[in-house]
Amino acid sequence: MSKRLARFKAKYMTLINELRTELMQKYPEKAERIQFITDLLMNKLYALKSHSLPDFIHTLYLASREFPEFEKLIPSKEDIEELIEE
């Protein structure tokens, strides 16, 4: 695994965990759904390769339709281009 991809995964694992905590406090009645979505994202992130990046981004987009807070996790254009260049 490249250093860029490893840094990306570590950064996003941290961000997803922070957002999970934030959402659980904000929407305690939706805890099961939040747990499901964040577990799904973590699994996709764990298996992430540059060719599976679009799938991860699409999953973030779908999550943001249910919880708008996930939109802030969608990677920037620069982050995406950096990973695809590998």
What are the sequence ranges of the domains in the chain? 3-84
CA distance 67 to 74: 13
Cα separations (Å) of 86 from 26, 41, 46, 66? 38, 22, 18, 32
The stretch 49-65 carries a mean pLDDT of: 92
Higher pLDDT, 60 or 81: 60
Tell me: pLDDT of 85 over 80: no
Please tell me the pTM assigned to this model: 0.88
Find out whether 9 and 50 touch, Cβ atoms under 8 Å: no
